[in-house]
A and B are shown apart, each in its own frame.
Chain A
Amino acid sequence: MSVETPDVLVVGAGPAGLAAADAARRAGAQVVLLDAAGDAGGQYWRHLPAERPAADERVLHHGWDKFTALRGQELLTDAQVWLAERHDDRPPTLHVLVGPADGNERTPRTFAPKALVLATGAYERTLPFPGWDLPGVFTAGAAQALAKAERIAVGRRVLVAGAGPFLLPVASSLLRTGAGVVGVFEANGWSRLRKAWTARPAELLSTRHKAGELAGYVRDLARNRIPYRTGTAVIAAHGTDRVTAVTVARLDPEWAPVPGTERRLDVDAVCVSHGFVPRTELAVSAGCGLDAYGAVVTDENGRTSVPGVYAAGEITGIGGADLALAEGVIAGLAAANAATTSAASTSAAGTANVGVTEEQRRARRDNQRFADRLERAHGIRPGWAGWLGDDTVVCRCEEVTAGDLKAGAAATGSRGLRSLKLSTRAGLGVCQGRVCGRTVEELLHRHTGGLLDPGRTASRPLAAFVRMGELAAANHPEESA
């Protein structure tokens, strides 16, 4: 198998990756852009299958024009990067399988790019609560994807709950499919939201279209008489074969449920999302440094700690599609610059001009401030564990409960995440901790008085499943050298 050596390889064709590839191409680099999905758009621009175009894409998708402009690029779809081989002094070698994941005919390809842009996005994070594993309980992202891509209404009495401004567009999307939305419940109270969103209002001006976008969603809710409640959370879902009701309660500022405020609401679907976790498998394998939140650390040019590796979008922190676009442009330019000039001059160049305009830098800074507000206003607080019962399932793949974690920590006395995962099986199932990893870590951190090896759930050398036969055929030592 031959190794391909493009100037710039961009992994992920969401807003960040599309912008990066476009910018790198404009700068004259030879670019390969790939995505595991069947089409461009990422998490943000979910769209209709080609055979079912809709007239109102613009309404359903913010920035559709921008997307239309970016999506014309050459893109390798159904291309799953499954392994990044670390080299430390240069970008990793990426192993890719191309073809539908359920087919038997995936073609292996190997890339050793001169510069690499990781734009792999983030996973949604949903905190567990009793009954969250019932059918009818969706992540907000899954519900929105159904709404946007399939035009499917998830229910007639849907409650949207969790934390963050992206609950609003989810509710809007649901409304447009004809779903009935009974309310949008934000876990954080007004005082925290107000403090974060109204501090230094001048800063927000530069991102006012962002604020305007959100305000539009709020108007959507008002027009449809849908309550937006703050300081309130779903603390349990009820039902036998599927969800039929939820218990909601008021939360204190640390997200602990306030006793006596519980109320029951009849619903037929719940969409919950409490935040995001950067999707860092490839970045971790490549050796990129992470910050305390598990996001890839970058400088103002999008450079990671590994020479030649850049990162943009949600993988570097959660800030919405506009920040992803702004970061993508800069990382794409910087990567193109690094790949097309000699290695010596770029490493010495440091923060020097890589072809990024002052305006592009400003866009990134402004959106970064918006992202900081997001975290200040909506970040997860520790009190949520108060709504767990001992029998609440935390790891769904292996059916490990909150009580199992507590008991495992007590029985072993271990302060090791690795050891406790192995003795409780939490995070060892098919999702490999993508859904529950953070939650398991946080709970065990409390039960053990502090884990000594945290962050282990982020290490997943295999970024995706690979069949044994594909592995056996993937790579032969003599040929890859």
Chain B
Amino acid sequence: MRVIVVGAGIVGAAVARELARAGAEVIVLDRSASAGGTSAAGEGNLLVSDKGPGAELDLALRSLALWQGLLPEIAESFPSIEYEAKGGLVVATTEAGAAALRAFAATQRTAGVESSEVNGLDHEPDLNPEHTAAVLYPQDAQVQPAIATEALLADARRHGATVRQGVEALGPLRSGDRLTGVITSAGPLAADHVVVAAGPWSGEVSERLGVTLPVRPRRGTILVTTRMRPRIRHKVYDADYVGAVGSNDASLQTSSVVESTAAGTVLIGSSRERRGFDESIEARVLSAVAAKALVLFPFLSGVAVMRAYGGFRPFVPDHLPVIGPDPRLTGLWHATGHEGAGIVLSTATGELLTDLMVGRPPTLDPAAFAVDRPTLLPHLQPA
């Protein structure tokens, strides 16, 4: 069985690795370089704390287990992926926020998310003492997403996959009503299955292959400080984050996620805004992100920011990833739409897609991620 994976971001990498390990002959295409898209333009939070009970949380919990399992396998002869199970601390800054946070944590516990309300200052001595509640989520972890992507690809290669960089998917190869491969910038390439894992460009790639898939970009901007003595121990974020993630609002929203990296810098994210593929960085966005972070950690006020960067979260209207075969075109598969959680969700996405493709009993119920699920169905018609 020969499979083409379009996109060498973290999702394509995880899919390729699982398929290659299951014995498929895998070719990964990327029009640019590996790990050069969204997977190198965000943060590497592996979070369960921001997800309420439901299909996405189940996928995240399974993913976390897979991340831990694959660490020894991909560690070999490779730069460290900087995996750290440091835990998340979610902080409310208003009384209403505190009540909502406690209620949210209670529902999450029913779905397997561990958490406990703590005295925030015990865990983060530099936290703003004015906060109203702090909940610790020990399962939250982080990786360096670009290195993690390369590590997954390297493991896929070890299992026989080929990664072709600088090769763009241009159109379909068809035989009757079946997709039999891809026309690429390097010529036609035949395959039994084609998986679209092109992140925020998945809508465009799907269109080229002949179907409509409503994947759109949602912009995010992150600040990076200069190195400092470690003063922030967990991933610390304000409880508003939970609201921003699930929102359909196109206008600017920010919520603060503050974390230190292995290198000693602090990453401060992030904004969410729908504005197409506009890459410009604006003062009003940076300002809003910074202001929110200062509410959590007032000491950051004097810390220098040396870089700002951003990327485009791939999102679909009902905010759930799309994983599985496309019922409209035999041979076409999707693994995309992970929005702000593609790093964490990549591993279980690879597993689920492989389960379905090779006919293994799936570890998770695939219905919630199906292309033709009821909440996505209305969006599958050409615009």
Interface string of A402-427 (1 = CB under 8 A from B): 00000010011111111100111100
Q: Do the beta carbons of A461 and B281 come within 8 Å of each other?
A: yes
Q: Do the beta carbons of B40 and A419 come within 8 Å of each other?
A: yes
* Residue of chain B at shortest CB distance from A462: B308
A/B pair count, beta carbons within 8 Å:
155
Which of B33, B166, B280 contacts A418 (CB under 8 A)?
B33
* Residue of chain B at shortest CB distance from A425: B263
Interface string of A94-124 (1 = CB under 8 A from B): 0100000000100000100000000000000
Chain A: minimal CB distance from B175 (Å): 31
Q: A471 within 8 Å of B by Cβ?
A: yes
* Residue of chain B at shortest CB distance from A83: B283
Which of B35, B302, B307 contacts A416 (CB under 8 A)?
B35
Q: Do the beta carbons of B165 and A415 come within 8 Å of each other?
A: yes
Q: Do the beta carbons of B36 and A418 come within 8 Å of each other?
A: yes
Chain A: minimal CB distance from B270 (Å): 14
**B297-315 interface with A by 8 A CB criterion:** 300-309
Q: How far is the CA of A314 from the CA of B113 in the complex (A)?
A: 57
Q: B291 within 8 Å of A by Cβ?
A: yes
Q: Do the beta carbons of B306 and A471 come within 8 Å of each other?
A: no
Which residues does chain B contribute within 8 Å of A474, judged by CB atoms?
283, 286-287
Interface size of A in residues (CB-CB distance below 8 Å)? 46
Q: Do the beta carbons of B286 and A398 come within 8 Å of each other?
A: no
Q: A55 within 8 Å of B by Cβ?
A: no
Chain B: minimal CB distance from A113 (Å): 16
Q: B252 within 8 Å of A by Cβ?
A: yes
Q: A442 within 8 Å of B by Cβ?
A: no
Q: Do the beta carbons of A453 and B32 come within 8 Å of each other?
A: yes
Which residues does chain B contribute within 8 Å of A85, judged by CB atoms?
280-283
Q: Do the beta carbons of A411 and B154 come within 8 Å of each other?
A: yes
Q: Do the beta carbons of A465 and B308 come within 8 Å of each other?
A: no
Chain A: minimal CB distance from B293 (Å): 7
Which residues does chain A contribute within 8 Å of B300, judged by CB atoms?
468-469
Q: Do the beta carbons of A468 and B150 come within 8 Å of each other?
A: no
Q: A201 within 8 Å of B by Cβ?
A: no
Chain A: minimal CB distance from B92 (Å): 20
Which residues does chain B contribute within 8 Å of A469, judged by CB atoms?
290, 294, 300-302
Which of B36, B281, B303 contacts A285 (CB under 8 A)?
B281
Chain A: minimal CB distance from B26 (Å): 14
Which of A93, A422, A429, A468 contacts B147 (CB under 8 A)?
A422
Q: How far is the CA of A430 from the CA of B227 in the complex (A)?
A: 8
* Residue of chain A at shortest CB distance from B151: A412
Q: Do the beta carbons of B33 and A451 come within 8 Å of each other?
A: yes
Q: Do the beta carbons of A412 and B34 come within 8 Å of each other?
A: yes
Chain A: minimal CB distance from B378 (Å): 33
Chain A: minimal CB distance from B39 (Å): 9
Q: B226 within 8 Å of A by Cβ?
A: yes
Q: Do the beta carbons of B307 and A460 come within 8 Å of each other?
A: yes
SS class of chain B's interface: helix, strand, loop or mixed?
Answer: mixed
Which of A413, A416, A460, A475 contacts B154 (CB under 8 A)?
A413
Q: B132 within 8 Å of A by Cβ?
A: no
Chain B: minimal CB distance from A455 (Å): 13
Interface string of A467-481 (1 = CB under 8 A from B): 111011111110010
Q: Do the beta carbons of A416 and B33 come within 8 Å of each other?
A: yes
Q: A215 within 8 Å of B by Cβ?
A: no
Q: A149 within 8 Å of B by Cβ?
A: no
Q: Do the beta carbons of B150 and A414 come within 8 Å of each other?
A: yes
Q: A343 within 8 Å of B by Cβ?
A: no
Q: How far is the CA of A414 from the CA of B152 in the complex (A)?
A: 12
Chain A: minimal CB distance from B81 (Å): 9
Q: Do the beta carbons of A475 and B33 come within 8 Å of each other?
A: no
Which residues does chain A contribute within 8 Å of B163, judged by CB atoms?
413
Q: How far is the CA of A471 from the CA of B294 in the complex (A)?
A: 10
Which residues does chain B contribute within 8 Å of A432, judged by CB atoms?
306-307
Q: A428 within 8 Å of B by Cβ?
A: yes
Q: B225 within 8 Å of A by Cβ?
A: yes
Q: A71 within 8 Å of B by Cβ?
A: no
**B1-43 interface with A by 8 A CB criterion:** 32-36, 40
Q: Do the beta carbons of B34 and A468 come within 8 Å of each other?
A: no
Q: B338 within 8 Å of A by Cβ?
A: no
Which of B34, B288, B294 contacts A477 (CB under 8 A)?
B288
Given A412-B150, A477-B252, A480-B284, residue A466 in contact with residue B305 (CB < 8 A) = yes
Q: A452 within 8 Å of B by Cβ?
A: yes
Q: How far is the CA of A467 from the CA of B266 in the complex (A)?
A: 13
* Residue of chain A at shortest CB distance from B81: A423
* Residue of chain B at shortest CB distance from A451: B33
Which of A416, A428, A467 contacts B263 (CB under 8 A)?
A428
Given A422-B40, A424-B79, A476-B287, residue A415 in contact with residue B306 (CB < 8 A) = no
Q: A157 within 8 Å of B by Cβ?
A: no
Which residues does chain A contribute within 8 Å of B308, judged by CB atoms?
461-462
Q: B157 within 8 Å of A by Cβ?
A: yes
Q: Do the beta carbons of B301 and A423 come within 8 Å of each other?
A: no
Q: B144 within 8 Å of A by Cβ?
A: yes
Which residues does chain B contribute within 8 Å of A468, judged by CB atoms?
223, 225, 268, 290, 293-294, 300-305
Q: Give 20 A-B pairs besides A93-B283, A411-B154 with Cβ atoms closer than 8 angstroms.
A: A408-B79, A411-B77, A411-B150, A412-B150, A413-B163, A414-B165, A415-B34, A418-B33, A418-B40, A419-B149, A422-B40, A423-B147, A451-B33, A453-B32, A465-B306, A468-B294, A469-B290, A472-B290, A472-B291, A475-B283
Please list 9 pairs of residues, one from A and one from B, whose beta carbons are closer than 8 Å in the complex, sorted by A's number: A85-B280, A85-B283, A95-B283, A416-B36, A419-B40, A422-B35, A461-B307, A461-B308, A468-B305
Interface, chain B (partner A; CB < 8 A):
32-36, 40, 77-79, 144, 146-147, 149-150, 153-154, 157, 163, 165-166, 223, 225-227, 252, 263, 268, 280-284, 286-288, 290-291, 293-294, 300-309
Q: Which 3 A-B pairs have the closest CB atoms?
A: A416-B33, A469-B301, A471-B290
